[in-house]
């Protein structure tokens, strides 16, 4: 599998996970010049959740969430403000997706949802 295919599969797994929790997926891969947001969803309390998905094979180089640095967080915040048109009840989450490959098939080992990550 190519890197982009793995990323898409991770985002698909994250969307399925959120949907199972009752979240409504509003948008995916929302892009502006200021940045990109992987998933935009509405939780059960009416909070708009902006989700960064990080997909990794393992934790050999740290947790996947550690790769969402301050610069990336600021880009997500700026993009979220434009998406909301200024103000809305919002939260920023990270979903870590860990996997292994069986041939060309990606198997999900773990999904870790970090609410209010930044």
pLDDT tier at 1 (50, 70, 90 boundaries)? confident
Question: In the structure encoding, which two tokens stand for residue 34, read together?
Answer: 């200021």
For the stretch 8-67, pLDDT in tens is 999 999 999 999 999 999 999 999 998 999 999 999 999 999 999 999 999 999 999 999
For the stretch 60-92, pLDDT in tens is 999 999 999 999 999 999 999 999 987 789 999
User: What's the Cα-to-Cα distance from 1 to each of 9, 23, 54, 112, rounded to whole Å?
Assistant: 10, 29, 16, 22
Can you say how many angstroms the Cα of residue 106 is from the centroid of all Cα atoms in its chain?
18
Name residue 116's beta-bridge partners.
none
What is the dihedral sign for C-alpha 94, 116, 50, 80? negative
What domains does the chain contain, in order, with CATH numbers?
3-114 (3.40.1350.10)
């Amino acid at each position: 599998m190519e890197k982009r295919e793995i990323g898409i599969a991770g985002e698909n797994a994250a969307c399925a996970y959120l949907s199972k929790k009752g979240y409504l997926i509003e948008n995916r891969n929302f892009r502006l010049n200021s940045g990109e947001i992987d998933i935009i969803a509405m939780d059960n309390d009416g909070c708009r959740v902006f989700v960064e998905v990080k997909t990794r094979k393992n934790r050999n180089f740290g947790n996947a969430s550690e790769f969402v640095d301050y610069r990336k967080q600021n880009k997500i915040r700026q993009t979220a403000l434009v998406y909301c048109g200024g103000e809305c009840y919002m939260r920023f989450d990270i979903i870590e997706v860990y996997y292994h490959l069986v041939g060309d098939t990606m198997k999900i080992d773990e999904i870790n949802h970090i609410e209010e990550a930044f």
